[in-house]
Structure 1
C-alpha cells in the first residue's frame, strides 16, 4: 500500500509534472487518441443534428410551423432567454463525457433558489390565432402591444389552470370580458380572459389542469375565445416560452 501511494505521489508531484505527462497515466498514446476521437465525433454529430433540425423547422410551412418558429426565435434571440445553463449542461453531460466532472458540477439537493417552475399546461384546446408582442390593431390598424396570446376554441370549451395557484382576482374587464387571475410561485401570475362562465372564486386554491371556467364566444378585440397572459413579477412575458408543448392545435 505504501509503495502504491509513493507511485501516485511521484506522478502528481508538481516538480515532476512536466515530465509526468498524460501519456504516463495511460497505457499508450493510442488510448488518448481514441478518447479524443470519440469526443470529437460525438460533438460533431450533435452539431450536425441540431443544424438539420433547425433547418427542417424553418422550412416547415403552415400555422403549426409559425407557432414553433416563433418559439425557436424567442429562445435563440430574446435578451431574456438565457441559454447559458443549457449550454453548461450540454458541455457537462454530453460533450465532456466525464462522470467525475458531472458529479462535481451537479447541483446538491432538489430545487435551487432561482430555478424555474415546471412548464405551464396549455389552458384550452384550440387554435393559436394571435401572438405575444407588437401586433396590428384590428380596430384602427396601428401597432399595439399584445400582452398575451389568443386561442380560438369552441364556445363553452373547458378552460384549465396552467399551474397550481390561488385565484387572486375575478372581475369583468372592459376589453377582455370576464377575467380570472391566478397567482403562482416564483412570481408568476396567469390571466385568463373572455370567459362565458367562471367556475371559481377569489381566494380559491386551484390545481394545475383543474377547470376554472368555460370559454366565451369568439370575436371582439381579443380575436379568439380565450385570451391568456403570463406575468413574471408583474411584467408580461411570452406564454409560449413558459408552456410545456407548442402545437397548432394547442
Structure 2
C-alpha cells in the first residue's frame, strides 16, 4: 500500500509540473504578444488555470500498471555494447567489401520510385553475374537460407557480437556450422545485384563507414 501511495504521489506531481510548465509558457507568450485588454484576458486565464485544483484520481492505477512493464535494464544485466572490435589490422574496421562492384543503393533512409520513405538496412552493389563473394572477416556460418526479398542469404557471426549478411547469392559454397577465414570464397552472386548487411550487436551499421581507409 505504501508503494502504491508513493507511485500515485509521484504521478500527481508529474502532471502538476507538466501543467504548470505549459501554463507558464502560455503566460509568457500572452504577455509578450498581447497588450491592453487582450493581454489582461490571457493573464486572467493563466491565473485561473494555475490556481485550479486538478483531480487526477482514477488514473494512477492504470499508469502504475503500465509502468510495471518497463524493464529494469540493470537488473536484466544489459550493459551498453562497445564499438565493433574485430581482429584485423585496424580494430573496428572491415578490410574490404565482399565483392568488387559499384554502390547503387546506400544504407539508411531512402525514397522509392513512388517517393515513399523507407529504411534500407544494408547496401547494394552492382556486379557481374556470378561474381565471387568472400567473407570479410573470420567467423562461423550460422544461416544459409532463402529470403523472399533478397533471395539466398548467408549469415556469418564474428567475434565481439558482430555479424555479416550476404544476400542475392546464386550459390553458397559453405554450410551452416562451418568456420571460415577472412577472404575465403563463400559463394557467387545470382544476378547483377549483391546485398550486404553488417550488424554490431543488435544494431545495424553502415558497412561503408567501417571500411579501412
CA distance in 1, matches of 2:212, 2:189: 21
Q: 1:122 aligns with which of 94, 97, 107?
A: 97
The equivalent residue for 1:197 is 171
User: Higher mean Cα deviation, 157-166 or 121-130?
Assistant: 121-130
- Superposition deviation, residue 235 in structure 1: 1.4
Q: 2:188 aligns with which of 214, 238, 242?
A: 214
**TM-score of the aligned structures, taking structure 1 as reference length:** 0.48
Q: Secondary structure, in 3 states, of the residue corresponding to 1:171?
A: strand
The equivalent residue for 1:136 is 111
Structure 1 residues 243, 205: closer, same or farther in 2, change over 3 A? same
Structure 1 residues 186, 143: closer, same or farther in 2, change over 3 A? same
Listed as ranges, the gaps of 5+ residues in structure 2 are 1-81
Q: Secondary structure, in 3 states, of the residue corresponding to 1:200?
A: coil
Does the alignment pair 1:243 with 2:208? no
Listed as ranges, the gaps of 5+ residues in structure 1 are 1-112, 219-224, 246-250
The equivalent residue for 1:100 is none
Q: 2:139 aligns with which of 162, 165, 172?
A: 165
CA distance in 1, matches of 2:152, 2:83: 33
- Superposition deviation, residue 116 in structure 1: 2.1
Alignment of 1:1-250 (within 5 A): 116-117=85-86, 118=88, 119-120=93-94, 121-138=96-113, 140-218=114-192, 225-245=193-213
CA distance in 2, matches of 1:210, 1:244: 19
Q: Secondary structure, in 3 states, of the residue corresponding to 1:236?
A: strand
8 Å contact from structure 1 (residues 189, 234) kept in 2: no
Q: Which has the higher helix share?
A: 1
**TM-score of the aligned structures, taking structure 2 as reference length:** 0.56
Deviations 1:158-189 (A, max 9, x none): 00001000000000000010000000011110
8 Å contact from structure 2 (residues 84, 200) kept in 1: no
Structure 1 residues 168, 126: closer, same or farther in 2, change over 3 A? same
Q: Which has the higher strand share?
A: 2
The equivalent residue for 1:41 is none
User: Number of paired residues?
Assistant: 126
CA distance in 1, matches of 2:100, 2:83: 31
